[in-house]
Amino acid sequence: MTTTLQDCRALDAQDPLHALRELFDISEGTVYLDGNSLGAMPRSAPARVAEVVTQEWGRDLIRSWNSAGWFELPRKVGDQIARLIGAAPGTTIATDSTSVNLFKVLSAALRISAQRSPGRWRIVSERSNFPTDLYIAEALCKDKGWELVLVEPHEIADALKDEKLAILMLTHVNYRTGAMHDMAAVTKAAHDAGALVVWDLAHSAGAVPVNLTAADADFAVGCGYKYLNGGPGAPAFVWVNPRHADSCWQPLAGWWGHDKPFAFTPDYQPAAGIVRYQCGTQPMISLAALECGVATVLAAEPFGGMAALRRKSLALTDLFIQLVEERCAGQGLALVTPRDHAQRGSQVCLSRGQGAYAIVQALIARGVIGDFRAGDGAGHPDILRFGFTPLYLGFEDVWNAVEHLRQVLESGEWQRPEFNRQHAVT
Amino acid sequence: MTTTLQDCRALDAQDPLHALRELFDISEGTVYLDGNSLGAMPRSAPARVAEVVTQEWGRDLIRSWNSAGWFELPRKVGDQIARLIGAAPGTTIATDSTSVNLFKVLSAALRISAQRSPGRWRIVSERSNFPTDLYIAEALCKDKGWELVLVEPHEIADALKDEKLAILMLTHVNYRTGAMHDMAAVTKAAHDAGALVVWDLAHSAGAVPVNLTAADADFAVGCGYKYLNGGPGAPAFVWVNPRHADSCWQPLAGWWGHDKPFAFTPDYQPAAGIVRYQCGTQPMISLAALECGVATVLAAEPFGGMAALRRKSLALTDLFIQLVEERCAGQGLALVTPRDHAQRGSQVCLSRGQGAYAIVQALIARGVIGDFRAGDGAGHPDILRFGFTPLYLGFEDVWNAVEHLRQVLESGEWQRPEFNRQHAVT
């Protein structure tokens, strides 16, 4: 028996997380399936941001560094994020961009590795990792005379056998396919092979359960503006396993990482722990918005937290896959994201022989906002990418999205010229 | 004949820039002399920030990367800042923090120098440079086996004779003393000596006329939240002389510096020019506030721009010095900032045998907001620091500030216990 709109409405009625969508202000008629790229705006953000601007900055001026807690905000928001990624308090900082943070931790990992295993000088990553991760690693390798080796996911196990391997750098959930690694198993295998592991949680934090402590990972970075709903370009975060935190300077040794920044001494003395992974002054207005975003994810804690969000996320993506297969059969769509729950993040990607870009545009014109990622001509096809944020999406939204997709395909609407101008969207 | 309050009011009445204070919303009774640390809030900022939050993010969501021009914003704001620092369009980017940007340009300078003068491996800076600049240089030297040599300002000329000198790294206006270097002369002397020059414009941009092009400087960075009024922790900026812009990768080679970031290729291809000095995604809400701040400085253009702001700034600091000397004589205050206009930034610093911290606190309690910078026990005394932003300060403000200072000193009010708890303020 196929699923109906009424079934979807019944699922929403039974969903204990359904009320959390009231934390957001999404326009009527919009089905927002791009929270994996830019999370939706929390309802609390405009007032909080206005308070930071008009009162903390405008009225209290310089005093707010102390009175409004600006100095502590990167650590405070870091500790809030820590609750979502299985990290201890005092091990996570909200700061800088993901790329900059990756440079910090990859540099640190490289120094630690060089000290304990001087004969190892290779970083292994996935060819389809998010490019900025590869660029940062490439630049660092170029600078240090190291080598960056890119492999396919199924080649990782073999790559661990390489005696020159120093660092395995992976993104937990792949930005294109939505495929997810088993963090604990991969970390253990890499450690057994003598390598350090750096995780990028860009598509994981706030999206899937993560336990960095249990996995005993070495370093992690992540993004504030995707599933953490922190706003466009929100500060990112960085986590360092406490066993490594004091073992070296990271190269972006700015004053916010100094043990006594207001002593204004000419020589650098790194602060203990994660604080030394700070560099310069952070954008407080954007950081305040990030705090609002993180709060929306923490608001799920009374309902079961990340485990409950994960259950709903899988139910949403299962339903989407099922409805696409039931209602868009014969339209040339193929599933790129793994069916296996253990290997699936919070997104579903589809490929199609042609038209992926135009179909996404036609859907956007109807208010169903997903995105397009171009293929690379080397085994990765063009994809239609749909992110499912269980905080603000319901089962009826999934029905509506598939219904629009069906109509766009059956009517040939996507072939209209206006949907076929290629135009980059992040 | 001594200056009176009436004289000050007359100066305000004649001041063509006086109307610009209406661009700001400073509380009645506040004399804000800390714009060198955190610039005041432009009146335009709350509405613009609210628009970015509720409409660009909240309503338009991911589409705003294109429709609201988020992608171009770092370059757009960079071009606006360029007009204030004598830089050509397309040579300046608003991005990241000053510390992170310094790491980029210092790394690039080091690479360029190592290539053309392999025997040079020293960076020279001032001992009293802002510490984060020294920390970034120290960490880079440590990593590269280079040496950071710190000198006093009067020793710079001698330091240029060092055949190992590769890079001279200076802050144009000293954060403690307000002393200003002759950028053109120092740059020429350093070039003649075979060195590259990196300028930090943290206390210059929007405060004093700067002409990087005429000085033929090599690299520059600067701060968005001081005289550019960009808000707490606003993104900083980076400028690279076009002759260097394409000559190397900077190490923070993130996707925003890629030639085709949305091609998502696994290998890094740096964009031409200053764009490669971008790294990751920028905090758009804070960046929008920075644009409002830069606009307040650009609003002086019809009135004579930076030259007119400079004339008023010098008149304000001259008046402040004169009034302190007339009205606070015998109170143990000494002028730290140079009297010579050519050597003075837009701030005045005073020292006192004791009580500098408490006097600043007592002034703050009266609404006269300056700040305190601790001495280093090595020739630099504790200072009372007063920044003068000609955009929102008038001559009567200067009168009032000195009158409060006189009362705080003559009454002994500063000796009250509540003003004597030391507490760090940036």
What average pLDDT does this structure show over A298-302? 98
Q: Give me the residue from B135, B281, B289 closest to A268, CB to CB.
A: B135
Contact B38 A253 (CB under 8 A): no
Kindly state the helix (H) or strand (E) to which residue A401 belongs, with its residue range: helix A395-411
| Residue B393: closest CA among B409, B414, B372, B370 | B370
**Hey, are the CB atoms on B283 and A283 less than 8 Å from each other?**
yes
Q: If you measure CA to CA, which chain A residue comes closest to B376?
A: A265
Interface of A with B in 294-313 (CB under 8 A): none
Buried b (16+ CB within 10 A) or exposed e, B161-199: eeeebbbbbbbbbbbbbbbbbebeebbebbbeeebbbbb
- Please report residues of A whose CB lies closer than 8 A to that of B376: 264-266
Interatomic CA distance for residues B35 and B26, integer angstroms: 12
* Interchain contact, B34 vs A96, CB within 8 Å: no
Asked if residue A219 lies in contact with residue A93, where contact means CB atoms within 8 angstroms, the answer is no
- Per-residue pLDDT, averaged over B328-348, amounts to 97
pLDDT of amino acid B424: 45
CA–centroid distance for B376 within its chain: 22
How far apart CA A56 and CA A61 sit, in angstroms, is: 6
Convert the pLDDT of each residue in B134-192 to its tens digit.
999 999 999 999 999 999 999 999 999 999 999 999 999 999 999 999 999 999 999 99
Bridge-partner residues for B200, per DSSP? B171, B221
Do strands B122-126 and B165-171 pair parallel, antiparallel, or not at all (unpaired)? parallel
Express each pLDDT in A311-367 by its tens digit. 999 999 999 999 999 999 999 999 999 999 999 999 999 999 899 999 999 999 999
A94 bridge partner residues = A237
Averaged pLDDT score across all residues of chain A: 96
Higher-confidence residue of B263 and A424: namely B263
Q: How far is A290 from chain B (nearest CA, A)?
A: 10
**Cβ pair B249:A139 closer than 8 A:** yes
- Any idea what DSSP says for residue A352? E
Exposure string of A367-385, with b = 16+ CB inside 10 Å and e = fewer, is ebbbbbbbebeeebbbbbb
Among A53, A262, A284, whose Cβ lies nearest the Cβ of B41?
Answer: A53
In sequence order, what DSSP letters do the residues of A169-233 get, joined into one string? Answer: EEESB-TTT-BB--HHHHHHHHHHTT-EEEEE-TTTTTTS---HHHHT-SEEEE-SSSTT---TT
pLDDT at residue A376 in the model: 76
CA distance B238 to B104: 9
Nearest Cα residue to B30 out of B389, B374, B305? B389
Nearest CA in chain B to A97: B280
Q: How far is A272 from chain B (nearest CA, A)?
A: 16
How sure is the predictor about A378, in pLDDT bands with cuts at 50, 70 and 90? confident
Q: Residue B51's closest CA among A292, A281, A53, A198?
A: A53
- Residue B38 DSSP class: S
Does A247 score more than 70 pLDDT? yes
The A residues from 113 to 152 touching B (CB cutoff 8 Å) are: 127-132, 134-136, 138-140, 142-143, 150
Residues 47-76 of A with CB under 8 A from B: 49-50, 52-54, 56-59, 61-66, 70-71
pLDDT greater than 70 at residue B422: no
Query: What would the mean pLDDT of B73-81 be, rounded to a whole number?
Result: 98
Chain A, 327-366: which have a CB under 8 Å from a chain B CB? 364
- Mean local confidence (pLDDT), B64-86: 98
Are the Cβ atoms of A252 and B38 closer than 8 angstroms?
no
CA A232 to chain centre: 13
Distance separating alpha carbons of residues A105 and A107, to the nearest angstrom:
5
Measured between beta carbons, the chain B residues lying within 8 angstroms of A62 are: 34, 37-38, 369, 371, 425-426
Please check the confidence at residue B72 and state whether its pLDDT lies above 90.
yes
HSE-CB of B417 using CA atoms within 13 angstroms? 0
Q: What percent of chain A has pLDDT over 90?
A: 94
CB contacts, 8 Å: A426 with chain B: 62, 65, 71, 262, 281
Whether the CB-CB separation of A90 and A230 falls below 8 Å is answered with no
Q: Which of B24, B103, B225, B372 is catalytic?
A: B225
Q: What is the mean pLDDT of residues B79-106?
A: 98
A233 close contact with B: CB closer than 8 A: yes
pLDDT of residue A422: 57
Mutate to test the interface with A, among B53, B93, B275, B392 (most CBs of A within 10 A): B53
Asked whether the predicted pLDDT for residue B425 surpasses 60, the reply is no
A254/B59 touch (CB, cutoff 8 Å), yes or no: no
B353 phi, psi to nearest 5 deg: -50, -45
Q: Measured between beta carbons, which residues in chain B are less than 8 angstroms from residue A376?
A: 264-266
- Residue in A312, A363, A313 with CA at minimum distance from that of residue A333: A363
Structure tokens at B23: 């661009």
pLDDT tens profile A155-186 = 999 999 999 999 999 999 999 999 999 999 99
Res B426 pLDDT > 50? no
Question: Which one of A62, A106, A249, A371 makes the best mutation probe of the B interface by having the most chain B beta carbons within 10 Å?
Answer: A62
Which of chain B's residues have a Cβ under 8 Å away from the Cβ of A59? 27
**Closest residue in chain A to residue B250, using alpha carbons only:** A139
Q: Examine the pLDDT at B3 and tell me if it is beyond 70.
A: yes
Question: CA dihedral defined by A17, A19, A24, A27, rounded to 10 degrees?
Answer: 110
Tell me the pLDDT tens digit for each residue of A76-86. Answer: 999 999 999 99
Q: In the predicted model, is pLDDT for residue B70 greater than 70?
A: yes
- Domains of chain B: residue spans and CATH: 5-42+305-419 (3.90.1150.10), 71-298 (3.40.640.10)
- A59: pLDDT confidence band, cut at 50, 70 and 90? very high
Find out whether B337 and B348 touch, Cβ atoms under 8 Å.
Answer: yes
* pTM confidence score: 0.97
Copy the structure tokens of residue A88.
């201890």
Contact B59 A284 (CB under 8 A): no
Residues contacting A313, CB < 8 A, separation 6+: A207, A208, A346, A388, A389, A390
DSSP assignment of A246-264:
TSS--S---GGGBSSGGG-
> Among A59, A148, A223, A255, which would you mutate to test the B interface (most chain B Cβ atoms within 10 Å of its Cβ)?
A255
| CA A380 – CA A377 distance, rounded (Å) | 6
| Yes or no, beta carbons of A139 and B253 under 8 Å apart | yes
List pLDDT tens digits, range B220-234: 999 999 999 999 999
The backbone torsions φ and ψ at residue A278, rounded to the nearest 5 degrees and listed phi first, read: -85, 155
Chain B contact for A255, CB < 8 A? yes
- pLDDT single digits (tens) B247-281: 999 999 999 999 999 888 999 999 999 999 999 99
Among the listed residues A204, A110, A97, the one whose alpha carbon sits nearest the alpha carbon of residue A148: A110
B230 part of contact set with chain A, CB < 8 Å? no
Contacts of B134 in chain A (CB under 8 A): 266-268
Angstrom distance (rounded) from CA B132 to CA A91: 23
Q: Would you call B133 a catalytic residue per the annotation?
A: no
- Tell me whether residues B45 and A53 touch, CB distance under 8 A: yes
Report the residue of chain A nearest B248, measured CA to CA: A139
Strands A347-352 and A383-387: antiparallel
- The pLDDT tens digits of the residues spanning B26-59 come to 988 999 999 999 999 999 999 999 999 999 999 9
